[in-house]
Structure 1
Amino acid sequence: MTGGRLLLFGGTTEAREILAHGIPALCCVATDYGGKLAAETPGAAASGASPEEGTVRVGRLDADGIADLIAAEGVTCVIDATHPYAVEVTRNIRSACDRTGTPLLRVLRDAALAEGAGSEEGVTRVGSCREAAELLDGREGERALLTVGSKELRAFTAVRDYRRRLFARVLPTSEVLRSCEELGFDPAHVIAMQGPFSAEMNGAMLRMTGASLLVTKDGGGPGGMEAKLAGARAAGAEVVLVSRPDDTGCSVGEAVLWARRMLGLRRPPLFPLLRDLEGRTVLVVGGGTVALRRAATLARCGARVRAVSPEFLEASSGPLPGAELLRRPFLPEDLEGAVLAVAATDDREVNRRVGLEARGRGIPVSVADAPGESTFFFPSLVAEGPVAASVSSAGLSCALTRRLSDRLRSVWGAWVAEEKAALERMAPGGTGEGGR
């Protein structure tokens, strides 16, 4: 049975990725520009996301407005895919979902600079735009390029001589430009452009404005953070980084799987790509039951298993003969030479980091506690000698996968023997029809 509707918040890259999967959704965005991007997302037509059908809503809503919308539209579940710094919107969404008893999932993109990385050379971390403005106020005479969004510019009007010292890069919309004018920013100090911006362009803007400081938020990859850091380094500018608010969330892949479960939607079957692992190195991170079971499956397929964990179950020496056991925490260099990786610890953060590192190196990875972060789904292997089949429910139901694979194992050996015997009878010189 299928039914219900997803209420999706965000004019972000993540929201558009969710729409592209064709999930029926009412998409709420704050600006006309965000609505235009949502409606133009490839695959969004299948989700009904178009202004003509009224399924892209533009405008900001408070908690009461969101609760009313949930009731009026028959919403089954909600995904908050707003910007990592959209604190008030996220708070309102949570309040409305708590009030209406509606299931909610938060999607949060990865930061380009993890907490603690602010001490890296050329980066100063501050807690808010107000703190950033106080820092600039104390750096008398220095110019700064602000790339924090137009809604944050008011905090920087407290900087002495801000009209001369500060340059604001904002979206090229009439509403934003009016706001900049009302705040007193000189038109010559407003750079109205739509990204993305390359490192070269960021560096050129810093040099053009004479700015020795770049003030920004960590918008991750979609926010062009890496290009900002590289551009600042090239221009010899210091980065003032406004830290993210404390928040937790999941990946887009996890959100898509969750929405499909909540709405009862099917997904296409996975393509069962079989790969020769004999003599090749595979990395398994984890030393518990799940990790060792998957390591044993890989070893059975002839792989050279490299297992990393501070601790291993006592039985590890049995199912993993010849495996390389590294009794310590995971390190990125553990992926060197690996053709496949599995993250199966009981620590969500470690699994997430393994997935990130593997994907960044182009290594297929299975993340046991987050199918949406995986680039392949670890199958249930059914084998008799070299003859094998795999079973997977694409991460939607582990119980179904187990039941089907158990039933298949109960007959697989007999089936293989039966079909081999039939082929032998049919072969030339045999006793079957093929030998006549």
Structure 2
Amino acid sequence: MNSLYICIFGGTTEGRLFAEFLSKKNIKADLFIATEYGQQFVKNIGNINVYQKRLDEKEMTNLFLKKKYDYVIDATHPFAKIVSENIIKSTYVSGTKHIRIIRNSYENKCCKYFDTLNDCVDYLKNKEGNILLSTGSKNLDKFTIVKNYEEKMYVRILPMESSLKRCIDLGFSNKNIICMQGPFSEELNVAMLKSTNSKYMVTKESASSGGFDEKVQACIKTGTECLVIRKQYEEGLTLDEACRLFMKLRDESGE
């Protein structure tokens, strides 16, 4: 076993793949995932301890001081800003090295981009036609100011009881709630856009691994307007860059 000891935050694709990479290189790590749903995708990874729990800033600081990790890796979702901010503050207080894994992304000329979710909501507020939301359940309350949202908005969320309850509590029509795990193929996106008769599709800026390209192509094929909420600029390493760095660190440790 290599002497390096790593802490990873993120039930994302990047978090899972980085944990699998460390496992193959015999590097010990603790992986923290916020939801029980995300935990099912990271079972039985050698050398990796998986914890399904949310930590606030104080809990993170205490954890880092106790465990004395060599590095803390932030592989959380690009829109999980509060968690990333807490990780930064806690690593600073504890004196732990911190690396942010960022997602590659690019601007597609076929899409309409918005700097914030609120800007997108304002654009849709008085628009006619059905809307397919693929932005998750967390910020659904923002869309409730859209005219007739209860009937014309279709929401695609993870198949979690908490997400479904949030949709219902906010007044979204039961028949308009789609509970499925992505990423989705272009064909399935096309089928959903057609079946919901959607004029607009709302998504978050993402890498191709998150199914972004398949959404865009489906919108082009169906004549749907693809509305994209930009992620904020972040400094960090891509997944490939992080893996190369830890290959080097492992070799330098001489174990």
> What's 2:221 paired with?
234
1:135 aligned onto 2:139: no
Of the candidates 68, 77, 89, which is equivalent to residue 74 of structure 1?
A: 68
Q: Secondary structure at the match of 2:231?
A: coil
Q: Is the 8 A contact 1:107 1:249 kept in 2?
A: yes
Gaps of 5+ in 1: 50-54, 267-395, 398-436
Write the distance in 1 (CA, Å) between the matches of 2:60 and 2:34. 13
Contact between 1:4 and 1:76, CA under 8 Å: does it hold in 2? yes
Q: Is the 8 A contact 1:4 1:74 kept in 2?
A: no
- Please tell me whether residue 7 in structure 1 is matched to residue 7 in structure 2: yes
Superposed CA offset, 1:275-330 (max 9, x none): xxxxxxxxxxxxxxxxxxxxxxxxxxxxxxxxxxxxxxxxxxxxxxxxxxxxxxxx
Q: Which residue of 2 aligns with 1:148?
A: 135
Q: Distance in 2 between matches of 1:132 and 1:224?
A: 20
Aligned residue number for residue 30 of structure 2: 26
- Cα pair 1:6 1:259 within 8 Å, conserved: no
* Cα offsets for 1:172-204 (capped at 9, x unmatched): 111111111111111101000112211111111
Displacement over 4 Å in runs of 4+? none
Matched, 1:184 2:184: no
Q: Which residue of 1 aligns with 2:54?
A: 60
Residue type of the alignment partner of 1:17:
L
Q: TM-score, normalised by structure 1?
A: 0.55
Q: Which one-letter code corresponds to 2:28 in the other structure?
A: P
Task: State the SS of the aligned residue for 1:6.
Answer: strand
Q: Does 2:207 align with 1:201?
A: no
Q: Is the contact between residue 147 and residue 170 of structure 1 (CA under 8 Å) also seen in structure 2? A: yes
* CA distance in structure 2 between the partners assigned to 1:130 and 1:219 by the alignment: 18
Counterpart-to-counterpart distance in 1, 2:42 and 2:123: 37
- The answer on whether the counterparts of 2:204 and 2:229 sit within 8 Å (CA) in structure 1 is yes
Distance 2:139 2:8 in 1: 24
Q: What root-mean-square deviation, in Å, do the aligned CA atoms of Structure 1 and Structure 2 show? A: 1.9
Aligned equivalent of 2:151, options 164, 186, 192? 164
1:243 pairs with 2:243: no
Q: CA separation in 2, counterparts of 1:252 and 1:245?
A: 18
Distance in structure 1 (CA, Å) of the matches to 2:175 and 2:120 = 22
1:37 corresponds to which residue?
41
Higher relative contact order (Cα pairs below 8 Å, separated by 6+ residues): 2
Output the amino acid matched with 2:70: T
Q: How many residues align?
A: 249
Q: Deviations over 1:345-364 (max 9, x none)?
A: xxxxxxxxxxxxxxxxxxxx
Once the two structures are superposed, residues 134-172 of structure 1 have per-residue CA deviations (whole angstroms, 9 ceiling, x without a partner) of: 111131x22110000111211111212110111100011
Deviations 1:56-100 (A, max 9, x none): 121222211211111222322111111122211111111111111
8 A contact 2:68–2:96 mirrored in 1: no
**Contact 2:2 2:28 (C-alpha < 8 Å) held by counterparts:** no
Normalising by the residue count of structure 2, what TM-score does the alignment of the two structures yield? 0.91
Query: Counterpart in 1 of 2:100?
Result: 106
Cα drift, residue 225 of structure 1: 0.3
**Gap regions ≥5 residues in structure 2:** none
Cα displacement string for residues 237-278 of structure 1 (whole angstroms, at most 9, x for unaligned residues): 00110011121221223223434555xx34xxxxxxxxxxxx
Counterpart residue number, 1:254: 241
